[in-house]
Chain A
Amino acid sequence: MYKPMNSSRHNCDVLVIGGGPAGLAAAACAAEGGARVTIVDDNPGLGGQIWRGEQRKPSAPEAAEWLRRAQTAQVEFIGGAQVYDQPEKGLLLAENFDGVIGLRYRRLILATGARERFLPFPGWTLPNVMGAGGLQALVKSGLPIDGSKVVVAGSGPLLLAVAAYLRKSGAEVLLIAEQAPQRRLLAFGLGLWNSPAKIVQAIKLKRQLAGVPHLTDCWPLAANGEERLQSVTLRRGRKTWDVACDYLACGFHLVPNIELAAFFGCAVHAGAVQVDEFQQTTIPDIYCAGEATGIGGLEVSLMEGRIAGLAAAGRQEKARVLIAERRRLHRFADLLNRTFALREELKSLPQPETIVCRCEDVSFARLKKQTAWRAAKLHTRCGMGPCQGRVCGAAIEFLLGWQAESVRPPVFPVRIGSLIRDTTLVTGQE
């Protein structure tokens, strides 16, 4: 039935988990000081989500610059590998398609990024209902979108970026539905007055999306279809209407990926990893940078990555001069998260029969009979499937106020062979 797994070992001074902007900046800054640095990422290529595919098809000059710096500083990259356990301090285990890799490190930088927040509504499990970033990622991975009709919905600045990207790729973007109220978006626009780069970016996006309706105070009530999506029902004020489409790209802003940090014992507050002025977590020698410390966008991620990389390589003086700039960027992040906070009405999106946990097909009615995560897991298997609650967790926290429980190994579902090989790698150390 099962073939023995290959195993290999890898040593470095600084191990960076995640090769998006924060991880790339951290790795480059640490390696430029002479440290041996390795990035390990679940994705097959560098760039994370926002810079997905930049290695093959460069389009963002900033991405090219950081990729070049990392390469020049001889940062090693292990792609397509998921970190799932830490059998002892300084040793992580990762699984890839071929086997298990034992990663030895002195300092660790977590740059695990964020994922989209999904909210359940009737029909959201139908094929062709995807995340906004999800559809963009698939198009970047080769999905032909030319001529397809797409509704982009949910919340956050990602919606505009995705809509512009899809349109450029040949999709017909029918409309963008943003749940946030008009008045908050106006205040957000005003809050950008001291950030010329962001204003330029906003104007550019607006131009790329000319003619596409951008509706605020608007959200999807249902996705309709039998075997796949055929139309989406939208609501704005008292009005509800159907729009026929091929894809619904729908995500409600982002949530930090904190599972690995929580597994290592790093303190997490309000869904974000806690760090000090040098991006060090509450566990010595473990740093965290980028969206995992709180949603802030590209510029914050790069800045935090630079500080974490410098600090982890013992270059604190160089890191210290960046702290004031980071403070300024964090003010933008606060504004961002206030603007795209979810409205109360979205709590009534799921109907009793709506599936909330997609792995185990647990309905909202069954969940509501429970009192907390633990009871829900025990009685309904909610959050016990392969995604380990990564999709339903953020939704349930919003809908029912339950906090997810502690994270246990394996942090990621792995093959049984990877669990067996575990001991060999640990006891076979040099």
Chain B
Amino acid sequence: MPEAITLSVNGHSVTVPEGSMVSTAVILSGATSFRRSVTKQPRAPLCGMGICFECRVTVNGRPHVRSCQIPCRDGMDVQTDE
């Protein structure tokens, strides 16, 4: 069994298997979208491989991190645009 990792998404505690990307944790947290577009439309991952930037979130205070390319770490703090 892979180790479980616990992190925070918008203040909610989320537990995922080791090796999961931050994008997974955001979806499991129940957040409806990852970011709002320049005209405030809800957006979520499109490409899943680091190209489209639709999945970008704030990780440990750093904005514009592509959640699909960053593995979850224990104690990470993730914020979406909601």
Contact = CB atoms under 8 A, between A and B. Distances in A.
Interface of A: 42-44, 49, 53, 56, 80, 97, 115-116, 118, 125-131, 133-138, 141-144, 227-228, 355, 358-361, 385-387, 390-391, 413
Nearest to B56: A386
Contact of A43 (B17, B42, B54, B69): B69
Contacts of B21: 138, 141-142
Contacts of A42: 50, 69
B24 A391 contact: no
B12 interface: no
A283 B38 CA distance: 40
A358 B38 CA distance: 9
A386 B16 CA distance: 28
Contacts of B19: 53, 56, 142
B24 A127 contact: no
Contacts of B37: 125, 355, 358, 361
Nearest to B65: A97
B70 A358 contact: no
B49 A391 contact: no
B47 A115 contact: yes
Contacts, number: 114
Interface in B49-81: 49-54, 56, 64-65, 68-71
22 contacts: A43-B49, A44-B69, A44-B70, A56-B19, A80-B70, A115-B47, A116-B47, A133-B48, A133-B49, A134-B48, A138-B68, A141-B23, A142-B17, A227-B32, A227-B42, A358-B46, A361-B37, A361-B38, A385-B53, A386-B53, A387-B51, A390-B51
A361 B40 CA distance: 10
A138 B41 contact: no
A385 B42 CA distance: 17
Closest 6 pairs (CB-CB, A-B): A142-B20, A137-B48, A127-B44, A142-B24, A134-B48, A141-B21
B33 interface: yes
A142 B21 CA distance: 7
A125 B71 CA distance: 25
B37 to A, nearest CB: 5
Given A137-B48, A359-B53, 6 more contacts: A134-B45, A138-B21, A141-B23, A228-B42, A387-B51, A387-B53
Contacts of B33: 127, 227-228
Contact of B24 (A128, A138, A227, A386): A138
Contact of A49 (B20, B24, B49): B49
Contacts of A128: 44
Interface of B: 16-17, 19-21, 23-24, 27-28, 32-34, 37-39, 41-54, 56, 64-65, 68-71
Contact of B41 (A43, A115, A125, A133): A125
A42 B47 CA distance: 14
B65 to A, nearest CB: 8
A361 B39 contact: yes
Contacts of B38: 359-361
B56 A358 contact: no
Contacts of A386: 53, 56, 64
A413 B19 CA distance: 25
Contacts of B54: 358
A141 B46 contact: no
> Which of A134, A387, A391 is the most central at the interface, judged by chain B CB atoms within 10 Å of its CB?
A134
B64 to A, nearest CB: 7
Nearest to B64: A386
Nearest to B67: A141
A359 B55 CA distance: 11
> Which of A43, A49, A127 is the most central at the interface, judged by chain B CB atoms within 10 Å of its CB?
A127
A125 B56 CA distance: 15
B20 A118 contact: no
A336 B21 CA distance: 32
